[in-house]
Amino acid sequence: MTINELHQHFVDLDFQANKMLKSKSIDTNYLSKYSSVSEIVKENILKLSISPEIDREISLLETITIDFIPKLTLVAQFQNILTFGFSKKIYQLKKRERYFRDEIQKRKLLFNYVEKQLKTI
């Protein structure tokens, strides 16, 4: 992949990340497409080997788990019992959204940093 193609992927990923972060809820189909493109970009960044720090940070990125279900804490389990299971759904939905938004934000910041580093080369 050339640097121009990589730049186009950066622009595309940034647009998709902004769109998902501004939305009320994250669509899992859209997120899976974002995840697959970000994995392709991640592999190409590792092939370029820009710097050891960037390679280390990129290699630490794991794929986004689309079917992520958070575990209940002890307090949440107790609250779940008191509300007859109603609070569990709300708790898991909020934690799941937070996980998705954190992963998207992490990728967005890292890819923006890599793009700026590529522009200086």
For residue range 33-73, list pLDDT tens digits in order. Answer: 999 999 999 999 999 888 899 999 999 999 999 999 898 88
What is the per-residue pLDDT for 60? Answer: 92
Is 117 exposed, middle or buried (CB count within 10 Å of its CB: 0-12, 13-18, 19+)?
middle
What is the per-residue pLDDT for 80? Answer: 84
What is the per-residue pLDDT for 1? Answer: 74
For the segment 68-94, what is each residue's pLDDT rounded down to a tens digit? 989 888 888 888 888 888 888 889 999
Tokens of 45: 């960044």
- Distance set, CA 52 to CA 58, 96, 103 (Å): 10, 32, 22
Q: What is the pTM of this model?
A: 0.87
What is the per-residue pLDDT for 87? Answer: 85
What is the per-residue pLDDT for 110? Answer: 94
Tokens of 41: 């970009």
